[in-house]
Amino acid sequence: MKKIANVEELNAMRDKLKDKIGIRHDVPNNIQVVVGMGTCGIAAGAPAVLSAVTKEVGRLNLQNVTVAHKGCQGNCENEPIVEVIIPGKEPVTYVNMNSQKVTKIIGEHVVGGKPVVEYSKYGRIKGFE
């Protein structure tokens, strides 16, 4: 394994890996799919959920979707958590996620524009009741 000599090499490696796994940042007006990767999320299976999101976005070749992650969301009992943010619409938070639910959310919400209400935090979504 190559030893990283400086911050520039580390950043270059990070950027190369982000492109490889489909995590993209700083793309304005993209749909965002954000996976909570705090300690509780990781313990509850968030890495597999993040992997499923990136694979599904890649499989469908969705160029207008940014896949990202963030830290603790303060909602440990509902982890893993995924938030879908479509520009101009209310963000939707999905809870107790798994790989199978990801496929439905990407297909129905991200591609089709219709949130998957039964996976949402409260079983209802503002504007979709």
CB 116 within 8 A of CB 94: yes
Take residue 107 and report the two structure tokens written for it. 């297909």
Burial code (b: 16+ CB inside 10 Å, e: under 16) for 4-25 equals: eeeeeeeeeeeeeeeeeebbbe
Where would I find the H helices in 22-92? 39-44, 46-59
User: Which pLDDT does position 113 carry in this prediction?
Assistant: 92
Query: Does the structural domain 27-119 have CATH classification 3.40.50.12140?
Result: no
Percent of the chain residues topping a pLDDT of 70: 78
Residue linked to tokens 């489909």: 22
- CB-based contact 120:92 (threshold 8 Å): yes
CA 127 – CA 117 distance, rounded (Å)? 11
Give the pLDDT confidence of 1-57 residue by residue, as tens digits. Answer: 567 677 787 667 666 655 555 555 566 788 999 999 888 888 899 899 999 999 999
pLDDT for res 55: 92
Give the pLDDT of residue 35: 93
Among 42-46, 74-78, 97-101, the range scoring the smallest mean pLDDT is: 74-78
Q: Looking up tokens 């796994």, which residue turns up?
A: 21
